[in-house]
């Protein structure tokens, strides 16, 4: 096992940048894809509202394979797993570019997702295991600042590539970045291993099938299929989770130990992450569709409109630590979650003739508050994990985040489809369907702020204390 004493000063400097490179690849890929979805849908002869499967298939694959990321890292080492993950992500990107149908694209996105499942969590795990708790927030924050360049250039780059070249290049661009990530991981990432334990195959199977059931249930609702199919799948998901709890209490090395939820900050962080991310994840998916499908904007115009959100996310990162140190995690998460919900609700006021300053102002505020929200939720969730639960806790948090993303995107698509059927409410106007969806998602986000009331005022002090 590699310990902190064997990690060189250069590795300490480079590890946040390596984690940032992995985050950059993911955010660039996602932000480019969101802008290009209508163009891809047109070439593949699909409806733009059906293209959420390309996003959900990736998010679901990530969620399915994240549970084993901690186990593989402990067994084979962080560097080895990270390099393999980046290679797989790059191969999946190439296959996406070669896809000629939505089914092929979805399968290729799954391959991408398997790599993404280990790429970001493993790089973050290396940070957790290498840095002291008092330095971890700074390292985590530093690792996300360069990565936020992805959303800044992604929408514009995606729109430009779609109009000037073809949508295939939004995936091909990942390949040279992936090669740089492999080289950087080989030279600068320590190969940290953990205590060997037996692989919990039964636990992984229960969790994986439960997540598939939940996601398919939402997909069936979105496709307008019989509601009873979705109800059966949701019940199946709940049964599998109950079975897993019983299984985890019986075995010595469950994939996700139940004792994780005895940790107050971890429990609140996981629940808050899941609920608050529903609206936060749906908004970036719906906004490019609103601009292009409902308002008739071009892909590059829509990309430019989304830039204020990404720029604000990048700028806010420099203020996260001072804000958390001064106000504390409890107050920041309660108030900021409420603000995010209000901003999403205000997006229901937008129309094609709205002033550009209103678009830019709302998206800038959303980007800034999202940035503060993500760093605060992630760091408080991991704040009090003991060393023997770090790998499993980090993996479970990553699973939870990806589930929230896939649920949020699915819920957003479902809401737009449902409201588009309500002719008496929206007069067959697809723009009003988007507006009603933003209103509902904003209310859900506002209500999720109540979850963070259960945090104690002193929670997270170990992350913000100055030495």
Q: DSSP H helical segments within 261-328, as ranges?
A: 264-289, 299-316, 320-327
Q: Which pLDDT score, from 0 to 100, does residue 227 have? A: 75
pLDDT surpasses 60 at 433: yes
pLDDT surpasses 80 at 212: no
pLDDT surpasses 60 at 170: yes
**Which of 272, 269, 280, 373 is CA-nearest to residue 324?**
373
pLDDT surpasses 90 at 452: yes
Quote the percentage of the chain above a pLDDT of 70: 88
Residue range 329-362, pLDDT digits in tens: 999 999 999 999 999 999 988 888 888 899 889 9
Q: Which residues contact 242 (CB under 8 A, 6 or more apart)?
A: none
Domain ranges in the chain with CATH number 1.20.1250.20: 10-192+255-464
Residue range 244-271, pLDDT digits in tens: 999 999 988 888 899 999 999 999 999 9
Q: Which pLDDT score, from 0 to 100, does residue 377 have? A: 92
Q: Greater confidence, 330 or 217?
A: 330
Q: Which pLDDT score, from 0 to 100, does residue 4 have? A: 43
Q: How confident is the model at residue 84 (pLDDT cuts 50, 70, 90)?
A: very high
d(CA 274, CA 402): 9
Least confident of 145-159, 169-183, 221-235, 344-358: 145-159
Query: Would you say 212 and 62 are in contact if contact means Cβ atoms under 8 Å apart?
Result: no
Question: Averaged over 153-164, what is the pLDDT?
Answer: 72
d(CA 467, CA 450): 32
d(CA 402, CA 410): 12
Q: 405: helix, coil or strand?
A: helix
Question: Averaged over 149-160, what is the pLDDT?
Answer: 66
Q: DSSP H helical segments within 51-192, as ranges?
A: 52-65, 67-76, 78-97, 102-130, 133-144, 149-164, 169-172, 174-188
Q: Greater confidence, 222 or 205?
A: 205
Q: 384: helix, coil or strand?
A: coil
d(CA 158, CA 162): 6
Locate 119 and state its tokens: 């790429």
Q: How confident is the model at residue 404 (pLDDT cuts 50, 70, 90)?
A: confident
Question: Averaged over 93-97, what is the pLDDT?
Answer: 92
Q: Greater confidence, 70 or 235?
A: 235
Question: Averaged over 447-451, what is the pLDDT?
Answer: 94
Q: Which pLDDT score, from 0 to 100, does residue 3 have? A: 44
CATH code assigned to 10-192+255-464? 1.20.1250.20
Q: How many Cβ atoms from other residues are within 10 Å of residue 428's Cβ?
A: 10
d(CA 108, CA 103): 9
Q: Which residues contact 463 (CB under 8 A, 6 or more apart)?
A: 133, 134, 136, 137, 324, 379, 380, 383
Question: Averaged over 75-82, what is the pLDDT?
Answer: 90
Q: How confident is the model at residue 224 (pLDDT cuts 50, 70, 90)?
A: low
């Amino acid at each position: 096992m590699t310990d902190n004493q064997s990690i060189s000063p250069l590795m300490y400097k480079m590890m946040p940048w390596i984690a940032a490179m992995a985050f950059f690849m993911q955010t660039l890929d996602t932000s480019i894809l969101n802008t290009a979805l209508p163009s891809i849908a047109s070439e593949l002869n699909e409806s733009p509202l059906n293209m959420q499967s390309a996003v959900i298939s990736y998010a679901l694959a990530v969620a399915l394979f994240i549970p084993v990321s901690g186990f593989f890292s402990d067994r084979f080492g962080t560097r080895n797993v990270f390099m393999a993950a980046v290679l797989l992500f790059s191969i999946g990107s190439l296959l996406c570019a070669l896809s000629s149908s939505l089914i092929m694209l979805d399968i290729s996105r799954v391959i991408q997702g398997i790599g993404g499942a280990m790429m970001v969590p493993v790089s973050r795990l290396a940070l957790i295991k290498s840095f002291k708790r008092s330095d971890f927030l700074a390292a985590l924050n530093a690792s996300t600042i360069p990565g936020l360049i992805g959303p800044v250039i992604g929408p514009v780059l995606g729109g430009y590539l779609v109009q000037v070249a073809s949508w295939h290049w939004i995936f091909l661009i990942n390949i040279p970045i992936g090669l740089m990530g492999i080289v950087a991981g080989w030279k600068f990432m320590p190969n940290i291993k953990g205590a060997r334990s037996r692989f919990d195959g039964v636990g992984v199977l229960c969790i994986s099938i439960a997540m598939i059931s939940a996601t398919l249930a939402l997909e069936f609702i979105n496709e307008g299929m019989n509601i009873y199919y979705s109800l059966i799948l949701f019940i199946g998901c709940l049964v599998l989770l109950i079975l897993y709890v019983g299984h985890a209490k019986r075995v010595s090395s469950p994939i996700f130990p139940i004792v994780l939820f005895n940790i107050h900050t971890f429990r609140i962080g996981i629940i808050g992450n899941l609920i608050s991310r529903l609206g936060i994840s749906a908004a970036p998916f719906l906004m490019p569709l609103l601009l292009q499908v409902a308002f008739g904007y071009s892909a590059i115009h829509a990309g430019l409109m989304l830039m204020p959100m990404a720029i604000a996310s990048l700028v806010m990162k420099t203020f996260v630590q001072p804000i958390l140190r001064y106000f504390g995690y409890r107050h920041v998460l309660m108030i900021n979650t409420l603000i995010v919900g209000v901003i999403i609700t205000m997006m229901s006021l937008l129309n094609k003739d709205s002033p550009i300053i209103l678009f830019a102002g709302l998206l800038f505020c959303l980007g800034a508050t999202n940035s503060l929200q993500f760093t605060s939720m992630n760091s408080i969730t991991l704040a009090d994990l003991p060393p023997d639960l770090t790998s499993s806790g980090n993996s479970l948090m990553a699973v939870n985040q990806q589930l929230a993303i896939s649920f949020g995107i699915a819920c957003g698509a479902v809401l737009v489809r449902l409201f588009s059927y309500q002719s008496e409410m929206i007069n067959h106007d697809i723009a009003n369907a988007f507006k009603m969806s933003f209103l509902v998602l904003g209310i859900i986000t506002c209500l999720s702020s109540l979850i963070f009331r259960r945090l104690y005022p002193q929670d997270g002090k170990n992350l913000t204390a100055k030495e």
